[in-house]
Amino acid sequence: MSAFVKLLTASSVAALVLALQLSAAHAGAWVQKKHGYFFKLSGTYFYSTEEYDNQGNIREIREDEPGITNTSYQEVTATGYLEYGVTERLTLVSNLPFKIITSKRTEIVDPGDPFRNVEVVTGGLSDLTISGRFLLSGGAIPISLQAGAKVPLGYDASPPDQGAPLGSGKVDIEGFILAGASLYPVPAYLTGQFGYRVRSGTGIADEYLFQLEFGLTPGPWLFKATLDGLYSASTPPPQGSSTTTTTNLDVLKIIPTVGFSITPRFGIGAELIHTLEGKNTVAGTTYVVAVVLSR
C-alpha cells in the first residue's frame, strides 16, 4: 500500500463515510467494512399549499377541481436507514419510513350552501427498500453497483375520503451505478450515481434517478450540497393532484446539509430538501434532522 493511500485511510475515510451517509439512501460509492454498520434515524417535516402540474407550473393544490379550495398537505416522517457490511465488498442497505400525512381542504357544493372543511390523516409504514451495494473497485475513486427492491408494507394505496396515500402499493425494482472521489489533501469529496427504477402496475411509468454531491469535511464537520433528480421515463400525464397519487412525476431537488461528528461513532446532522422544479409533485421545502450511529 502506497504512503498516499495509507495517509488517506488514516485521515479521510472515516470522515468521508460519515459525510456520505448523513445524506439520503444510496448516497456514495463507499461500502461498510466487514461487520461494520451505519444507522441513521432522521425526522422530517414538510408543509405546502402548492404543487406542480404536469407542465411544470406551480399552482394551488387541486385548484382545477371544482368545489375544492384551501387545500394543504403536511407530512411528518421518521425514517430508519441501515447499512451493514457483509463482506469487505458487499454492504446490505435498508430504508424504512413511517409517515403521518395530513391533507386538508374546503368543499363547496353550491355557492349558497354551507361549506365543509375536510381533514384526512393517513399514517403508517411506507415502502421498505432493501438492496445490496457491491464495490467493483476501491481506492481513492471507488465504483460500486447497487440493486434492490422497494416493497409496500400493507398500507391502503387508495385511502378513503381522498386521503393522501403512503405509496403506490406496488413493488418496484431499481439499480444504480455509483462513483466517488476523494479530493485529498483538500478535505473534500465528490460522489454521484445514476439509476433506473422499474415500476409495476398499469399506467405507472418507470423512472430515471440521479444524484450529484460535493462535500467538505474539515475536522469533525460536514458541509455538503446535493442535487437529486427523479424523472419519469414517459411524459407525465395530467392528473387530479400530486397529493392523491405517487406515480408519473418529475422532481429535481437541491439539498444543503451540515453535520457534526461528536464522537467517532456518533454524529448529528440537519438539512433542507428544496424542490427546484417538478411535474405532478408538491412544491416546497422539507426540513430534516438526523442522528447517526456507526461502527
- Report pTM: 0.86
Q: What is the pLDDT of residue 278?
A: 95
Residue 15 has pLDDT above 90, yes or no: no
Higher pLDDT, 272 or 54: 272
Average pLDDT, the chain: 88
Residue 268: per-residue pLDDT: 97
How confident is residue 139, by pLDDT bands cut at 50, 70 and 90?
confident
Question: Mind giving me the DSSP string for the chain?
Answer: --HHHHHHHHHTHHHHHHHHHTSSTT--S--PPTT-EEEEEEEEEEEESEEE-TTS-EEETTTTSTTEEEEEEEEEEEEEEEEEESSSSEEEEEEEEEEEEEEEEEE-SSTTSPPEEEEEEEEEE-EEEEEEEEEEE-TTS-EEEEEEEEEE-S--SS-GGGPPPSS-SS-EEEEEEEEEEE-TTSSEEEEEEEEEEEE-STT---EEEEEEEEEE--TTEEEEEEEEEEEESSPPPP-S-TTS--SS-EEEEEEEEEEEEEETTEEEEEEEEEEEEEESEE-SEEEEEEEEEE-
Mean predicted confidence (pLDDT) in 75-94: 97
Question: pLDDT digit string (tens) for 198-233?
Answer: 999 888 899 999 999 999 999 999 999 999 999 999
Residue 127, pLDDT score: 96
pLDDT of residue 203: 81
Residue 103 clears pLDDT 70, i.e. is over it: yes
Least confident of 13-22, 63-72, 145-154, 238-247: 13-22
- What confidence category does residue 111 fall into, taking pLDDT thresholds of 50, 70 and 90? low
Q: Which domains does the chain have, with CATH numbers?
A: 3-294 (2.40.160.40)
Q: What is the pLDDT of residues 219-274, one digit of tens each?
A: 999 999 999 999 999 887 777 677 777 788 999 999 999 999 999 999 999 999 99
46 close to 285: Cβ distance less than 8 angstroms: yes
Question: Can you give the pLDDT at residue 16?
Answer: 43
Q: Is it the case that residue 164 has pLDDT exceeding 80?
A: yes
